[in-house]
Amino acid sequence: MTTFDKTAAAPREDADDSPLVEIEGLTKSFDAVRALQGVDMTIRSGQVTALVGDNGAGKSTLVRCLTGVQSADGGVIRFRGRPVRISSPDAARKLGIETVYQDLGLIEDLQVWQNLFLNRELVRGVPPIRVLDKRRMIRQSAEVLKTLDVAVPNVRATVRRMSGGQRQSVAIARAANWGKTLVIMDEPTAALGVRETAAVEKLIGRLRESGVTVLLISHDMAQVMRVADTAWVLRRGRAVAQRDVKQTSGDELVGLITGAVAGDADG
């Protein structure tokens, strides 16, 4: 389990600038469709990196290659400077990569603590007699939610009784609990209202302060400007631009997405 240390929180400008993930020349095709056409990009440690682009730009395909759902046809992915082959979701998890998808992947009739430890249950006893260590899982779940300041009624509450924002927060907490190095979030606030969106964005900030690296896929340029450190723009399967969020604007990012503004890799 990841241990979050509030005392380790650092200001935005002091984040580690070293690459956690380096992607070089990544390609992926589906029959005649070239979804990724030699993508080059980096994800830096301890930062929130936004991945933006229009529908069909290649964002989802890139995420699936990073999480082992699909294998790239070509190119290299380096993790902490070492080339890796992410051949399955299990391989991604062993690297400490966790993903929060739009469908969240929560079991509605299970309690919060059961969802946090789903398929990773803690046990006690001596083989062959081993039983679930419910008390430890409940305690650790409460600690994680408290540290991340996730507002849910109780770790014994079922997910079905929760609001959309609470469900999203539980899914993010689960990913952060197991994602020791990188948490990928796919449109985490797309179906949420203003208040719930603000709560999720605060949670993203707390992850960053705790040293968790975040890759955020979002169509909301205002959100990108609020929470991200760096933005990468994908267009037609290529990474056409990278921008420091503090030195760009939402309008420029939209222009880069549509092609109205020339990107670094254009021409």
Nearest alpha-carbon partner for 235 in 39, 57, 76: 57
pLDDT band at 11 (very low <50, low <70, confident <90, very high): very low
**CA–CA distance, 67 with 100 (Å, rounded to integer):** 11
Q: What is the mean pLDDT of residues 156-182?
A: 86
Q: What is the mean pLDDT of residues 131-156?
A: 88
pLDDT band at 5 (very low <50, low <70, confident <90, very high): very low
According to the model, what pLDDT value does residue 8 have?
36
> Is residue 14 pLDDT above 70, yes or no?
no
According to the model, what pLDDT value does residue 206 have?
87
Report whether 233 contacts 252 (CB < 8 A). no
Instruction: For residue range 55-93, list pLDDT tens digits in order.
Output: 989 999 999 999 999 999 999 999 999 999 999 999 998
pLDDT band at 173 (very low <50, low <70, confident <90, very high): confident
Residue 88's φ and ψ, nearest 5 degrees, are -160, 165
Sequence-ordered list of residues with C-beta below 8 angstroms from that of 55, at least 6 positions apart, any chain: none
Query: Does domain 16-96+179-267 correspond to CATH entry 3.40.50.300?
Result: yes
Q: What is the mean pLDDT of residues 239-258?
A: 95
pLDDT band at 240 (very low <50, low <70, confident <90, very high): very high
Report whether 214 contacts 204 (CB < 8 A). yes
The tokens of 85 are what?
A: 């082959």
pLDDT band at 179 (very low <50, low <70, confident <90, very high): confident
The tokens of 191 are what?
A: 């179906």
According to the model, what pLDDT value does residue 254 have?
95
> Is residue 155 pLDDT above 60, yes or no?
yes
Across 15-43, b (16+ Cβ under 10 Å) vs e yields beeebbbbbeebbbeeeeebbbebbbbbb
Report whether 18 contacts 197 (CB < 8 A). no
Q: What is the mean pLDDT of residues 223-251?
A: 95
The tokens of 261 are what?
A: 């503004």
pLDDT band at 184 (very low <50, low <70, confident <90, very high): very high
Distance, C-alpha 20 to centroid of its chain: 13
According to the model, what pLDDT value does residue 245 have?
95
Q: What is the mean pLDDT of residues 2-7?
A: 44
Domain positions in the chain:
16-96+179-267, 103-177
Tokens 């391989």 locate to 91
Q: What is the mean pLDDT of residues 168-193?
A: 85
According to the model, what pLDDT value does residue 40 have?
95
Q: Which amino acid is at 235?
A: R
SS3 (DSSP) at 87:
coil
Instruction: For residue range 88-124, list pLDDT tens digits in order.
Output: 999 998 999 988 887 778 899 999 999 999 888 899 8
Could you list the beta-strand ranges (E) of the chain: 19-30, 33-44, 48-52, 74-79, 82-84, 97-100, 123-126, 129-132, 182-186, 213-217, 230-235, 238-244
> Is residue 13 pLDDT above 60, yes or no?
no
Cβ neighbours around 186 below 10 Å, total: 19
Nearest alpha-carbon partner for 150 in 210, 63, 87: 210
pLDDT averaged over every residue in the chain = 87
According to the model, what pLDDT value does residue 192 have?
81
Report whether 165 contacts 195 (CB < 8 A). yes
According to the model, what pLDDT value does residue 68 have?
92
Q: Which amino acid is at 157?
A: A
